[in-house]
Amino acid sequence: MRSLPSEAVPEAGLATALADVAALPGGTWPSPITAVDAAAPHAPQTRYAGVAVTDDGRSVWWAHTRPDQAGRMSILRRIGDGPAQEMLPPQLDARTSVHEYGGLAWTAVADTLVTSNFSDQRLYRVDGDTSTPITPDTAGADRYAEPTALPGDTWVACVRERHGEKVSHALVAVPLDGSGDIVELWTDSDFVVAPTVSPDGRRIAFLSWDHPSMPWDGSELQVAPLSWTQDRPTLGPAVVALGGPEEAVLAPTWSDGETVCAATDRSGWWNLVAIPAVGGTPESLWSVERDCGVPLWRLGLRSHISLTGGRTAVVCAGRLHLLDTASEPTAIATPFTSWLPWLAADGDILVGVAAAADRRPAVVRVDTRSGQWTVLDEPDQPDTTWAPTPTLMDIPTDDGRSVAAAFYPPTSPITRLPDGAAPPGVMFVHGGPTAAFARHYQDDVSFFTSRGLAVVAVDYTGSSGRGRRHRTALWGRWGVVDVDDCIVVARVLLAAGRVSGLVIRGMSAGGLTALSALSRTGQPFAAGVSYYGVADLEDQAERTHEFESRYHDRLIGPWPAARELYRQRSPLARMATVTHPVLLLQGLRDPVVPAAQTRAVAAELARREVPHALLTFPDEGHTFSDRDAIATSLQAELSFYGQVFGFEPPGVPSLRLTPDRATALGEP
């Protein structure tokens, strides 16, 4: 698909607008936030992916994607107060495809960088300008993630995912000398993640789980002795220190050589405990009715980290707290209200990724003794006069539950709605479905609110952040209760006059929710947008990747015994009741939701002559990473909303809806 022009209002034109415009209908407001801006390196689609600290806190490493380089992940290093330096040769891309969603793909071993490379999925050792592969070339059949240095800094332990007749996972050790003499350390579970070595080098802690669990359903903290035979690492028998089929454990970190700290939801909330490495009774470090952790959708996510003196830093409800056995938990004072689950520490120095409602994510260093903090790397921060302030809502349902949502009003320093007018609105539905909407500044939200649209983000039943009971309440009801919740929020906003109408927009699992909502009789949405949305649950159950291959057993029912229920819940089987316009966006390299599902939805809409548009992106997978693809999608959405609600967005190429075939943005 060709690139599209920016829809920016020229500075001179914006100055004229400042003087002349008093009130305009929602969707027609002039805005300096272009689709290209929202897709630039500071956009929400640009993610930091790991931080590291070495040299007693003097040396800080971090990784972040570059949408202007097709989503390539680069790694930077800053020593002391010096400038950040690029550490990755341009031919390498520090991404992994383990679990298809990837995550932490690299580590620093002294001054050496060890990283997975996206194109071939091999591990590389990088010394200055020299990069050397240290795992065999298997044409991507073997994938590696979460490398961590073993004692002596000549080997790394990491997760290996092997694709053959079946997919298997193992904890392996890889020598840095490039010999390719890989040692299998652990192969006794369907999944293994999060290897971490004790400070004395005598033990490794890691997490494991088996089908049909997902890691947020049930997992085990394993601890095994580490020894060496002829300079090759080996593991002794592992002890299950914590966890089980109905208890989910997160992010082991060592307090000392004898004690592991981890988050467990055995209380109903992901709270921190300390557990002896040999097993025993866990000691609560902080009991609070909030989650101090997030689901492991990506490898390497960590919301707590051990510090010196038996202290622990932990992110809870977005804030950074310090736990000390000698005192009550205290919040570390920073302007950041949304710390992301990327934490690392060395001594007293902590490094993480932090943001706020009016700040994009940045790499921040904190001296946990003095409380002093320093921003090490950040994008250009937004003009706060264009940043919407969300209103958090907890909306009761008829069956005694409640739905959390955040309402973002149209926001502009130069334009307002006409007196008495309500804006058109867009409902954001997150993926997962075990996820949650980020509570920090989102460029795509401001892209719409700065033009006079309202945005409401819904954390439906099953979303994370509200405890295990809320998370598991989606079991057996996916495609039902999530849709119910979105409809409840929509009706409340419409009845209160907060919006004049609503479009529902979802990604991945959120796409299933959006398409399912459109198929409901009497539903309140004017249209729907699906980004690579799940549309055929039977196909998904039969062909999805290994990580989620049994996920649906709990979300819907055991496969294939519950096949009829899968068919009934599939949006594709319910297209006969969809009459409102639909926008479909799909990457053709998507390994999670095959493009065939989205094309089948488009074909069914065309057969029934329902207005729709299908935009496909040949080089995109599950989630878009290229700047042009992201910008094109946002422009397509805005044009689509204009046609649905009857406004003309300025400067945006027209998306032609058609009842009989797929179309492209900007087509005549």
pLDDT per position as a tens digit, 244-287: 999 999 999 999 989 999 999 999 999 999 999 998 999 999 99
How much is the CA Rg of the chain, to the nearest whole Å? 25
The model's confidence at residue 46, banded by pLDDT at 50, 70 and 90, is low
Is the predicted pLDDT of residue 17 greater than 50, yes or no? Answer: no
Q: Helix, strand, coil proportions of the chain in percent (round to 5)?
A: 20, 35, 45
Ordered by where they begin, the domains of the chain are 11-41+383-645 (3.40.50.1820), 188-296 (2.120.10.30)
Q: In this predicted structure, what is the pLDDT of residue 597? A: 97
What is the rounded distance in angstroms from the CA atom of residue 95 to the CA atom of residue 49? 9
Q: Which of 306, 354, 313, 352 is nearest to 330 (CA)?
A: 313
Sheet holding 259-264, edge to edge: 249-256, 259-264, 271-276, 283-286
Q: In this predicted structure, what is the pLDDT of residue 70? A: 78
How much of the chain exceeds pLDDT 70, in percent?
A: 94
Mean pLDDT of the chain: 92
SS3 assignment for 31-88: CCCCHHHHCCCCCCCCCEEEEEEEHHHCEEEEEEEEHHHCCEEEEEEEECCCCCEECC
The residues, ordered by sequence, that sit 6+ positions from 89 with a Cβ below 8 Å of its Cβ are: 126, 129, 131
Span 192-247, pLDDT tens digits: 999 999 999 999 999 999 999 999 999 999 999 999 998 999 999 999 999 999 99
Is the predicted pLDDT of residue 295 greater than 50, yes or no? Answer: yes
Q: Which of 385, 453, 439 is nearest to 649 (CA)?
A: 453
What is the rounded distance in angstroms from the CA atom of residue 62 to the CA atom of residue 43? 17
What is the rounded distance in angstroms from the CA atom of residue 286 to the CA atom of residue 237? 30
∠ at Cα 194 (192, 198), nearest 5°? 120
Q: In this predicted structure, what is the pLDDT of residue 626? A: 85
Span 417-450, pLDDT tens digits: 999 999 999 999 999 999 999 999 999 999 999 9
The model's confidence at residue 41, banded by pLDDT at 50, 70 and 90, is low
Is the predicted pLDDT of residue 661 greater than 60, yes or no? Answer: no
Is the predicted pLDDT of residue 44 greater than 70, yes or no? Answer: no
Q: In this predicted structure, what is the pLDDT of residue 531? A: 98
Sheet holding 183-186, edge to edge: 142-149, 155-163, 167-175, 183-186
The model's confidence at residue 666, banded by pLDDT at 50, 70 and 90, is very low
Q: In this predicted structure, what is the pLDDT of residue 653? A: 85
Is the predicted pLDDT of residue 599 greater than 80, yes or no? Answer: yes
Token pair listed for 332: 């570390």
Q: Which residue has the tokens 């028998």?
A: 237
Mean pLDDT of 339-348: 95
Q: In this predicted structure, what is the pLDDT of residue 668? A: 35
Q: In this predicted structure, what is the pLDDT of residue 651? A: 82
Q: In this predicted structure, what is the pLDDT of residue 91? A: 94
The model's confidence at residue 39, banded by pLDDT at 50, 70 and 90, is confident
The model's confidence at residue 180, banded by pLDDT at 50, 70 and 90, is confident
Is the predicted pLDDT of residue 535 greater than 60, yes or no? Answer: yes
Is the predicted pLDDT of residue 662 greater than 60, yes or no? Answer: no
pTM: 0.92
Q: In this predicted structure, what is the pLDDT of residue 22? A: 67
Mean pLDDT of 471-485: 97
